[in-house]
Amino acid sequence: MADYYTTIEAFRKSLEKSTEFRPRTGVILGSGLSKIADSLSGTAIDYSQIQGMPRPTVEGHRGFLKISRDYALLAGRFHYYEGHAIQDVVKPVLLLKALGVERLIVTNAAGGINPDFEPGQIVLIRDHINLMGANPLVGPNNGDLGPRFPDMSDAYSRALRKRISARLEYPLKEGVYAGLSGPCYETPAEIRMLEKIGADMVGMSTVPEVIMANYLGMGTVGFSCITNMAAGILDQPLNHQEVIDTAARVETHFRGIVETVMELLASE
Ligand SMILES: O=P(O)(O)O[C@H]1O[C@H](CO)[C@@H](O)[C@H]1O
Ligand code: HPA
């Protein structure tokens, strides 16, 4: 395994110069969702100012940290398909750890598999299936950071999900997220397989981040914005522009949910 301890220490040092804020809640924003960070007050720090932080290459991931007393929002994540080592894909989580963040909210754009879902809907992630073909914890383990064999039975905190559902005006549907490496969208046959193994939505991110957050002891919740129905469900081709457009269409609604959850976590 990469020496995550060293990476976290290097981020801590680098951030010492740019901010005194040490929030408890971190948010990773998915494709097309970075406007949420614009609308919140705080200090914006470009990834280029943070030593060791890669640059996002995907449209909809801008590459800055917005930080205030209560929150650290990351507008820009790294995907395995971009060619990053899996150890770099989890750098947003290591950065949040360096700031002392204890709770993580992950968001993503995903294709809907469950026929009860529709584009524009926000789904609370109940669990995931790791089909990336990679795991960020492979390699020697530093027991000071986390266990060799982390338990994943509550990776998307049941307790937090319950509190979120109680706080929101209407309950969100929950679903299982299948994380694949991409960058191809899936074939219709792959989507039929994913449905059979219990996936409700599909994407190319989130899973490595949540594995790392769980390993580091962060309580985690996740939201998928269903930006399109997965391949073969509707008789139409998929493209990233549709993903960005749908995320933009529901941005205000999604922001409301994320802000409510951020307030809920900050008040505890
Ligand atoms: O998961 P996020 O980063 O939100 O983005 C999703 O959208 C992109 C595909 O359109 C992929 O990167 C997929 O993972
Ligand atoms: O249909 C999809 N498949 C994989 N990743 C995605 N991200 C948004 N939509 C999708």
263: tokens are 């307030």
Separation CA 88–CA 252 (nearest Å): 30
What pLDDT digit, counting tens, does each position of 44-74 carry? 999 999 999 998 777 766 899 999 999 999 9
- Report the C-alpha gap between 16 and 45 in whole angstroms: 12
Contact status, residue 210 vs residue 220, Cβ threshold 8 Å: yes
- 28 close to ligand 1 (CB < 6 Angstrom): no
Distances (CA, A) of 146 to 206, 213, 241, 247, 256: 19, 10, 39, 34, 33
Domain limits of the chain? 4-266
Counting ligands in written order, the one closest to the CA of 190 is 2
* Distances 125 to 22, 69, 94, 145, 196 between C-alpha atoms, Å: 27, 27, 21, 25, 18
Compute, in angstroms, the gap from residue 142 CA to the centroid of ligand 2: 34
Task: Give the Cα separation of 232 and 196 in Å (integer).
Answer: 14
C-beta 62 within 6 A of ligand 1: no
64 is in an annotated binding site: no
Per residue of the chain (268 residues), give pLDDT as tens. Answer: 459 999 999 999 999 988 999 999 999 998 778 888 888 889 999 999 999 999 877 776 689 999 999 999 999 999 999 999 999 999 999 999 999 999 999 999 999 999 999 999 999 999 999 999 999 999 999 999 999 999 999 999 999 999 999 888 888 999 999 999 999 999 999 999 999 999 999 999 999 999 999 999 999 999 999 999 999 999 889 999 999 999 999 999 999 999 899 888 877 7
How far apart are alpha carbons 70 and 78 in whole angstroms? Answer: 24
Q: Is 79 annotated as a binding residue?
A: yes
**For ligand 2, atom 1: residue with the closest CA:** 111
Mutating to test ligand 1, I would choose from 31, 107, 241 the residue with most ligand atoms within 8 A of its C-beta, which is: 31
* 8 Å CB contact between 92 and 105: no
User: Cβ distance 167 to 92 under 8 Å?
Assistant: no
Radius of gyration, CA atoms only, the chain: 17
Out of 3.40.718.10, 3.40.50.1580, 2.60.40.1120, 3.10.20.30, select the CATH number for domain 4-266.
3.40.50.1580
> Is the beta carbon of 12 within 6 A of some atom in ligand 1?
no
Model confidence over 169-184: pLDDT tens digits?
A: 888 999 999 999 999 9
186 is annotated as contributing to ligand binding: yes
Surface-to-core class of residue 120, CB atoms within 10 Å of its CB (0-12 exposed, 13-18 middle, 19+ buried)? middle
Q: Which residues pair with 128 in a beta bridge?
A: 177
Sorted by sequence, the CB contacts under 8 Å of residue 260 that are 6+ apart come out as 167, 168
Instruction: Report which DSSP code applies to 80.
Output: G
Question: Ligand 1 within 6 A of 31 CB?
Answer: yes
Closest residue by Cα to atom 9, ligand 1, is 240
Q: What is the rounded distance in angstroms from the CA atom of residue 52 to the CA atom of residue 213?
A: 19
List all residues whose CB is within 6 A of at least one atom of ligand 2.
109-111, 185-186, 202-204, 227-228, 230, 238, 243
The pTM (predicted TM-score) of the whole model is 0.96
Q: Catalytic positions, please?
A: 31, 61, 79, 81-82, 109, 204-205, 228, 240
At 219, the amino acid letter reads G
Ligand 1 nearest atom to the CA of residue 238, by list position: 10
Q: Output the CA 110–ligand 2 centroid distance in Å.
A: 4
* Interface ipTM > 0.95: yes
Task: Give start and end residues of each alpha helix (H) in the chain.
Answer: 4-16, 35-38, 86-89, 91-99, 158-167, 188-196, 207-215, 240-249, 251-266
Closest-approaching ligand to the CA atom of 74:
1
Half-sphere exposure of 64 toward its Cβ, with a 13 Å CA cutoff?
A: 15
Q: Is 205 annotated as a binding residue?
A: yes
Note the ligand closest to the C-alpha atom of 254.
1
61 annotated to bind ligand: yes
Per-residue b/e over 122-133, b at no fewer than 16 CB within 10 Å? Answer: bbbbbbbbbbbe
